[in-house]
Amino acid sequence: MSLRHIPIPSTPWAHPPVCPTYNLATRIQTKLQEDLLSWKAAGGTSSSAPPPRPALMTFTPAPTFTLGRRQPPPTSAERAEMSKRLICETYRPASRADFSFLKPAIVQTPRGGLTTYHGPGQVLFWPIIDLKSPLHNHFTVRSYVSLLEKTTLETLRKAYNISGFTDPKNPGVWARKSRIVMGPDGDDIEVEGQEEKVAALGVHLRRNVTGLGIAINFRMPLSSNPKENPFVRISPCGMESDAVTSVAKLSGRTLPLEDAVDTLIPMWADEFARQLGVANAANRDAGPLVEADTWINWAIDMGIVKRKNSGFEIARKRKH
């Protein structure tokens, strides 16, 4: 048994390309959660039906500010500031348009915490698992949060030689980028920078079934310009905006956004499946750790496209 991977593409149909909405990802997550909850309601391990496989959704959403349960409702002035159009580099840019001016959405979420941002240049990993499933290791809420953090730490270390760390008081993954300065005698001295967050974490559980997950800042604008850097418009998770960093900045490399698809996502998924303890982690001859779903099936199921003879067409909203 392997981990079921559902990669939501950022550019399935449109040119210039667009990212999936946060609400679309939530709809897919909800369907997967309902499958697990229905199995549990039918008797769980005593049920004749096999338990649903653990799943992982990965995607880069359209620009979105998400509000946690601890966040007071934003004022009209705060909403107006957050809603201003952003200059966003698209995930897999088309030749005609490398940049787009996109208006961020503002979404209320069930997670704890305060306001944060998700959008182009970032990758979200949302596992949908039953913490007590017979198909893999069992977890408490605390050990599950640790699982997400450890998976991210190992992936960043293996893929980009980034040494991160965690903070018990602030969930997520943090890092420090050192720099060389001139010492009093003219010699080079290595100085550690401030703590900066490279991955934000937020989870929500219902009867031990997980929702949401972790977001890795892969390559995002980190300037002080609010037209480019959305974190300048808020205090992300209660932090100062300059406490946010990215994989590209920490690695010191010019990373194309495609590398998030080609390297970061598959390595994170494999590491998560291994630490989750799916059956194939103990017996690699049984098959791959991760098996990807075909996106077109989900696109049809979610009403994004519909079948038309032997091909497909984008589903249009009916006018009532």
The answer to whether residues 136 and 129 touch, using CB atoms and an 8 Å cutoff, is: yes
Tokens of 204: 């929500």
pLDDT at 239: 53
Q: Which residues are catalytic?
A: 237
d(CA 196, CA 162): 13
- Does the pTM surpass 0.75? The reply is yes
d(CA 308, CA 67): 39
pLDDT digits (tens, 9 = 90+) for 243-281: 889 999 999 888 888 889 899 999 999 999 999 999 877
Which pairing describes strands 164-167 and 209-217: parallel, antiparallel, or unpaired?
unpaired
Domains in the chain with CATH codes: 3-314 (3.30.930.10)
Amino acid letter, residue 46: S
Which pairing describes strands 196-206 and 209-217: parallel, antiparallel, or unpaired?
antiparallel
pLDDT digits (tens, 9 = 90+) for 3-40: 999 999 876 445 445 688 899 999 999 999 999 999 99
Binning pLDDT at 50, 70 and 90, where does residue 52 land? very high
